[in-house]
Amino acid sequence: DTAVSQTPKYLVTQMGNDKSIKCEQNLGHDTMYWYKQDSKKFLKIMFSYNNKELIINETVPNRFSPKSPDKAHLNLHINSLELGDSAVYFCASSQGTGEAQPQHFGDGTRLSIL
């Protein structure tokens, strides 16, 4: 019973396509996140939702659009994929945003743009 699950695990697609990555957590958390790990292995936050409301929106191209249908799900839709979008995308969740609330991560989605 995976706590934070992402699908798909691998995604290979052509430049210019539109794709979505799904994330679900069964921890009962109310806050969810998307991170991008680039080729240099840095993990950088992209978005965060608390109870379906956007609370963190880093400088991310507007081709990236998160959608939270309920507090257990946070999906990431990417339009017009570019070569630079190739990365590993991690979803995470936490109970609230207080300092003692560590984030729990999914196993990542490796996105490769051809």
Residues forming contacts to another protein in the complex (CB under 8 A) are 4, 31, 33, 40-45, 48, 55-56, 90, 92, 94, 96-108
Gap between the Cα atoms of 16 and 103, Å rounded: 32
Quote the least distance from Cβ 56 to another protein, whole Å.
Answer: 5
Question: For residues 79 and 97, which CB has a smaller minimum distance to another protein in the complex?
Answer: 97
Residue 4: Cβ-neighbour burial (10 angstroms; 0-12, 13-18, 19+): buried
Quote the least distance from Cβ 78 to another protein, whole Å.
Answer: 19
Question: For residues 86 and 103, which CB has a smaller minimum distance to another protein in the complex?
Answer: 103
Quote the least distance from Cβ 32 to another protein, whole Å.
Answer: 10
Is-contact 63 80, C-beta < 8 A? Answer: yes
Q: H/E element holding 44?
A: strand 43-50
